[in-house]
A and B are shown apart, each in its own frame.
Chain A
């Protein structure tokens, strides 16, 4: 097995881990003894000083390395779920540690689990919850989570008690309440285990959301049942009164609704906070984690359902937070969250395995353990079938037999049950060890056996799989149309259904919530359709550049004969013909589609000059439009900085435009229009990308000034250096992007006081010879290209240094170094 090789280091580490604590004893003594006599020591070995964090770090490392190991062999991971592998690994590691130490020094403690390992996983689940799907199936999820869990707990506990009365289990010091307590903690489907297994199975999204949503929301039920029965056990069976039972039911509502409320309140706070983090972009992601963690702790403090709190915090805040924070922060949040969740999951499963290697906790009772396994599976299946039967009378999309099988089979138990059972007080629950052993067996059985077999089962039953499809603009548009139609139909037919409620909610959200919780600029771009549009454009731009890189140059011009082409006649009879015909975003897919308005125009129009004018006009209009929006949007917030930023933007545009023109003139020759169209499309996408760079302002000033000076030096030396297009073009697409980004970055700080700022209306544009026509230049732009240059190249030499800097290591490094500051001056996302 391939995986084993990679595990080598892990073994080594583990051995070190088990030996270290013993070494400590040996080391400490001489260290302590000599320390006093020898005075100052150059080097001391202070294991005990770092012991705890060191061991934690080592464990994390071991777990992570193990994960690498598993994934070296694709065969293994495609068959065995990672969670199962981790448990097995944990068992082996636990065995080694125990063999070396003879005490189980590392176990999964409830504190560790509930305070540090569980929250990231649940937060991740909530924050990335597909909200629409979740709320669309909320009724179903709630029924399974509440009724289903109560049913499981009651039937399992009572059945076990029944069997116990029959004497099959032998002699156990155990009462009805203990059985119910055990039933309540073993009943709940575990979110961590379900997520780990179902993520690899890829069943259809409805099925997934039902099982997963159930596992998240049943926490409240579990917590309440567990607390109720625990207090009953403490009280003693005979002292439990009817009032206590009523209190239990009341506490269920308090715990679940209270937990949810705490989550919603914190989500509100979090959204509100991120609205104002514009100037502290760097710590922006931190708020997301800290505030949601606080929601977890707060509800834990109030003994409400912490899982519900953090889940709903994630669910409710996601929309606003994602809109408020910058794209970079969003990426940071996404990756950090995934990393924490995945790391926590890894550690949980590994420690479940390790915790099992402790002879002290094991108490075997074949009948009890086997019957528990049988009961939880059987009752789960019965519960699912019964509830689905009820639900299907109300559901629009029926849950079929196959779905029910998967749902029953997917009822995995996990670390929550284990942590709860470990929390039991041995003095009150006499058979705690039996419960612990049984819980471990149940977890191992469900995670390993069911986890292993669920994939073949899903394949065998031909369960509808989820399909990964690219977002399609048409699909989104039609979907939106359907939403409105449906809510209208419900309005007209006078019903209150999902669509009605959703419609009302989105109106409320747009009118009030978004206004409070979203930055003004974000209110606009948050629209889903726009997002898809934006994504598609970005993707096109990237693939365009990647294609260029693949061919070794950005300068590829695809001839119509070899490329796929699609033409759409955009020239509809509109009053503003010019605008209407070219003011679309050019979208093209390098491999399949080619939509080139300019070439179409070209074909349609015989008079070339007119066409030139159109392009010229469009280009100009297009490039300057964002600035107007920008002004409009930001004048309210940033009155003082406005002028500067405007100029930055201006210069950025200039740079872009010139770059564009130079590309055109240098490379295309054949068809300037096509090129221009492509370039400006790409440019727009690029701009959009750039514009989302956070403008967190760093207090570092000196490097910035340093850089500005250097840049000016370059500027001065520029005229002597003939711009070298070829070099840059050869460097390929990605670098082009990078360069532009650099340009933007470098432009910004110095652009503020840039003396070579030329107004657009410079009348001499057309007559002036662009600098790229200087002697030594190899490529001469066509007359048309020159005519098309919309603006004076008077400040063109500002661009040149950067172009040259594409080759120059110094300035590149500089640019890199000052990247963060330069971002400070970049505008935020302003337009879509």
Chain B
């Protein structure tokens, strides 16, 4: 697939699948080749070539998301070893801005997809639930950029957030009831009323790829 990109059929197919314009696909493909070192697939190690990524506190989680079968729409769990260009585009397409032409329903769907991507990143064991342990893990990583924050406070923040989530999603609980984790429905509930349109979009400009590797 990736190798035979020049075939315009191929490109057109990808346009239909991912919603990117052919220019954008062209450009992303250049980038893909750059990352993979002209190989048809990308492995995790290839991402180490991106120097700017190094400072990202949740770098490992993001890279992992690229190989997550759930995000690649290939299965309910597990990780792929390598991804080809189409998979790469699939992941990238999560971050496409919402089209003006979309109707309300499509916008909602788009929003849900984007949130699902984030949810999958949190839910590392693919059990459909962000458990406290997973949440703590993410928060610790998120705050790891600041060396002055101890794990302890990161953990209590995660706990606080978890309780907040519990109160938003369940509200009243029986004494012996225990909130086990955030399901995707709960996750949507938490995001209710929050505008994510600006938060999860990247402008894929039709500009020359900037060579950040090498």
A564-B170 Cα distance, complex, nearest whole Å: 10
Could you tell me the distance in whole angstroms from the C-beta of A228 to the nearest C-beta in chain B? Answer: 36
Across the two chains, which residue of chain B brings its CB closest to A492? B50
Instruction: Using known A-B contacts A485-B58, A489-B92, A523-B148, determine if residue A566 contacts B163 with beta carbons closer than 8 Å.
Output: yes
Residues in chain A near residue B156, CB distance under 8 A: 533, 583-585
- Asked whether A474 lies within 8 Å of B50 as measured between CB atoms, the reply is no
A680-B144 Cα distance, complex, nearest whole Å: 27
- Asked whether A587 lies within 8 Å of B163 as measured between CB atoms, the reply is yes
From B8-16, B73-81, B102-110, B204-212, the one touching the partner chain is B204-212
- Asked whether A482 lies within 8 Å of B175 as measured between CB atoms, the reply is no
- Asked whether B196 lies within 8 Å of A593 as measured between CB atoms, the reply is no
Instruction: Using known A-B contacts A469-B193, A524-B148, determine if residue A481 contacts B95 with beta carbons closer than 8 Å.
Output: no
Q: Is B43 positioned at the interface, with any CB of A under 8 Å from its CB?
A: no
Instruction: Using known A-B contacts A492-B47, A523-B148, A572-B133, determine if residue A477 contacts B92 with beta carbons closer than 8 Å.
Output: no
Q: Is B39 positioned at the interface, with any CB of A under 8 Å from its CB?
A: no
Q: Is A48 positioned at the interface, with any CB of B under 8 Å from its CB?
A: no
Instruction: Using known A-B contacts A396-B198, A485-B58, A566-B179, determine if residue A587 contacts B95 with beta carbons closer than 8 Å.
Output: no
A606-B76 Cα distance, complex, nearest whole Å: 39
Instruction: Using known A-B contacts A473-B157, A593-B167, determine if residue A560 contacts B202 with beta carbons closer than 8 Å.
Output: no
Q: Is B6 positioned at the interface, with any CB of A under 8 Å from its CB?
A: no
Residues in chain A near residue B153, CB distance under 8 A: 530, 831-832
- Asked whether A524 lies within 8 Å of B149 as measured between CB atoms, the reply is yes
A530-B60 Cα distance, complex, nearest whole Å: 23
Q: Is B159 positioned at the interface, with any CB of A under 8 Å from its CB?
A: yes
A568-B160 Cα distance, complex, nearest whole Å: 10
Instruction: Using known A-B contacts A492-B35, A492-B50, A566-B167, determine if residue A484 contacts B191 with beta carbons closer than 8 Å.
Output: no
Residues in chain B near residue A78, CB distance under 8 A: none
Residues in chain B near residue A529, CB distance under 8 A: 142-143, 157
Q: Is B100 positioned at the interface, with any CB of A under 8 Å from its CB?
A: yes
- Asked whether B180 lies within 8 Å of A398 as measured between CB atoms, the reply is no
Across the two chains, which residue of chain B brings its CB closest to A392? B100
- Asked whether B28 lies within 8 Å of A572 as measured between CB atoms, the reply is no
Q: Is A599 positioned at the interface, with any CB of B under 8 Å from its CB?
A: yes
- Asked whether A493 lies within 8 Å of B159 as measured between CB atoms, the reply is no
Residues in chain A near residue B161, CB distance under 8 A: 473-474, 477
- Asked whether B167 lies within 8 Å of A589 as measured between CB atoms, the reply is yes
From A328-336, A432-440, A499-507, A542-550, the one touching the partner chain is A499-507
Q: Is A700 positioned at the interface, with any CB of B under 8 Å from its CB?
A: no
- Asked whether B100 lies within 8 Å of A484 as measured between CB atoms, the reply is no
A568-B164 Cα distance, complex, nearest whole Å: 10
Residues in chain B near residue A698, CB distance under 8 A: none
Residues in chain B near residue A524, CB distance under 8 A: 146, 148-149
Interface size classification for chain A: 35 or more
Query: Which residues in chain B, 51-79, are within 8 Å of chain A measured between CB atoms?
Result: 52-53, 55-59, 62, 65
Could you tell me the distance in whole angstroms from the C-beta of B92 to the nearest C-beta in chain A? Answer: 6
Could you tell me the distance in whole angstroms from the C-beta of B56 to the nearest C-beta in chain A? Answer: 5
Across the two chains, which residue of chain B brings its CB closest to A496? B210
A293-B209 Cα distance, complex, nearest whole Å: 45
Could you tell me the distance in whole angstroms from the C-beta of A467 to the nearest C-beta in chain B? Answer: 8
Residues in chain B near residue A500, CB distance under 8 A: 52
Q: Is A595 positioned at the interface, with any CB of B under 8 Å from its CB?
A: yes
Query: Which residues in chain A, 677-691, are within 8 Å of chain B measured between CB atoms?
Result: none
- Asked whether B209 lies within 8 Å of A494 as measured between CB atoms, the reply is yes
A477-B53 Cα distance, complex, nearest whole Å: 20
Residues in chain A near residue B37, CB distance under 8 A: none
Residues in chain B near residue A603, CB distance under 8 A: 175-176
- Asked whether A398 lies within 8 Å of B167 as measured between CB atoms, the reply is no
Given B133, B160, B171, B200, which contacts A536 in the complex, CB threshold below 8 Å?
A: B160
Query: At the interface, is chain A mostly helix, strand, loop or mixed?
Result: helix
- Asked whether B53 lies within 8 Å of A497 as measured between CB atoms, the reply is no
A523-B148 Cα distance, complex, nearest whole Å: 7
- Asked whether B202 lies within 8 Å of A497 as measured between CB atoms, the reply is yes
Given A492, A494, A537, A569, which contacts B210 in the complex, CB threshold below 8 Å?
A: A494
Instruction: Using known A-B contacts A564-B173, A593-B166, determine if residue A490 contacts B202 with beta carbons closer than 8 Å.
Output: yes
- Asked whether B163 lies within 8 Å of A595 as measured between CB atoms, the reply is yes
- Asked whether B202 lies within 8 Å of A486 as measured between CB atoms, the reply is yes
A536-B148 Cα distance, complex, nearest whole Å: 21
Could you tell me the distance in whole angstroms from the C-beta of A563 to the nearest C-beta in chain B? Answer: 9
Residues in chain A near residue B168, CB distance under 8 A: 474
Could you tell me the distance in whole angstroms from the C-beta of A39 to the nearest C-beta in chain B? Answer: 72
Q: Is B31 positioned at the interface, with any CB of A under 8 Å from its CB?
A: yes
- Asked whether A564 lies within 8 Å of B171 as measured between CB atoms, the reply is yes
Query: Which residues in chain B, 126-181, are within 8 Å of chain A measured between CB atoms?
Result: 131-133, 138-139, 142-143, 145-146, 148-149, 152-153, 155-157, 159-168, 170-180
Could you tell me the distance in whole angstroms from the C-beta of A533 to the nearest C-beta in chain B? Answer: 5
A530-B35 Cα distance, complex, nearest whole Å: 36
Given A467, A484, A494, A503, which contacts B212 in the complex, CB threshold below 8 Å?
A: A494
- Asked whether B204 lies within 8 Å of A482 as measured between CB atoms, the reply is no
Could you tell me the distance in whole angstroms from the C-beta of B104 to the nearest C-beta in chain A? Answer: 15
Chain A proximity mask over B19-34: 1 for CB below 8 Å, otherwise 0: 0000000001001001
A499-B198 Cα distance, complex, nearest whole Å: 11
Given B47, B95, B172, B179, which contacts A486 in the complex, CB threshold below 8 Å?
A: B95
Residues in chain A near residue B97, CB distance under 8 A: 396
Residues in chain A near residue B204, CB distance under 8 A: 493, 495
Could you tell me the distance in whole angstroms from the C-beta of B137 to the nearest C-beta in chain A? Answer: 11
Instruction: Using known A-B contacts A485-B200, A489-B92, A495-B204, determine if residue A503 contacts B52 with beta carbons closer than 8 Å.
Output: yes
Chain B proximity mask over A616-638: 1 for CB below 8 Å, otherwise 0: 00000000010000000000000
- Asked whether A592 lies within 8 Å of B210 as measured between CB atoms, the reply is no
> Which of A485, A507, A527, A589 has the largest count of B CB atoms less than 10 A from its CB?
A485
Residues in chain B near residue A565, CB distance under 8 A: 172-175, 177
- Asked whether B47 lies within 8 Å of A474 as measured between CB atoms, the reply is no
- Asked whether B167 lies within 8 Å of A584 as measured between CB atoms, the reply is no
- Asked whether A484 lies within 8 Å of B62 as measured between CB atoms, the reply is yes
- Asked whether A570 lies within 8 Å of B132 as measured between CB atoms, the reply is yes
A583-B138 Cα distance, complex, nearest whole Å: 18
Across the two chains, which residue of chain A brings its CB closest to B58? A484
Q: Is A426 positioned at the interface, with any CB of B under 8 Å from its CB?
A: no
Residues in chain B near residue A580, CB distance under 8 A: 155
Residues in chain B near residue A490, CB distance under 8 A: 202
- Asked whether B149 lies within 8 Å of A530 as measured between CB atoms, the reply is yes
Residues in chain A near residue B95, CB distance under 8 A: 486, 489
- Asked whether A493 lies within 8 Å of B142 as measured between CB atoms, the reply is no
Q: Is A807 positioned at the interface, with any CB of B under 8 Å from its CB?
A: no
Instruction: Using known A-B contacts A584-B159, A592-B167, A592-B171, determine if residue A482 contacts B202 with beta carbons closer than 8 Å.
Output: no
Query: Which residues in chain A, 393-436, are within 8 Å of chain B measured between CB atoms?
Result: 396-398
Q: Is A99 positioned at the interface, with any CB of B under 8 Å from its CB?
A: no
Instruction: Using known A-B contacts A481-B121, A569-B179, determine if residue A584 contacts B160 with beta carbons closer than 8 Å.
Output: yes
Instruction: Using known A-B contacts A494-B210, A565-B175, determine if residue A533 contacts B202 with beta carbons closer than 8 Å.
Output: no
A524-B148 Cα distance, complex, nearest whole Å: 5
Could you tell me the distance in whole angstroms from the C-beta of A308 to the nearest C-beta in chain B? Answer: 26
Q: Is B194 positioned at the interface, with any CB of A under 8 Å from its CB?
A: yes
Q: Is A480 positioned at the interface, with any CB of B under 8 Å from its CB?
A: yes
Q: Is A712 positioned at the interface, with any CB of B under 8 Å from its CB?
A: no
Residues in chain A near residue B133, CB distance under 8 A: 572
Could you tell me the distance in whole angstroms from the C-beta of B147 to the nearest C-beta in chain A? Answer: 9
Across the two chains, which residue of chain A brings its CB closest to B170? A566
A623-B133 Cα distance, complex, nearest whole Å: 25
Q: Closest 9 CB pairs between A and B?
A: A524-B148, A584-B159, A593-B167, A473-B161, A491-B52, A585-B156, A564-B172, A569-B178, A566-B166
18 A-B pairs with C-beta separation under 8 A: A482-B196, A491-B50, A491-B56, A492-B31, A493-B92, A495-B204, A510-B146, A523-B148, A529-B157, A530-B149, A530-B157, A564-B171, A565-B177, A567-B176, A567-B177, A568-B179, A592-B167, A625-B152
> A-side interface residues toward B, CB under 8 Å?
136, 396-398, 467, 469, 472-475, 477-482, 484-500, 503-504, 507, 510, 523-524, 527, 529-530, 533, 536-537, 560, 564-570, 572, 580, 583-585, 587-589, 592-593, 595, 599-600, 603, 625, 831-832
Starting from the known contacts A536-B160, A569-B179, 4 additional A-B residue pairs (CB-CB under 8 Å) come to: A478-B190, A493-B202, A583-B152, A592-B167
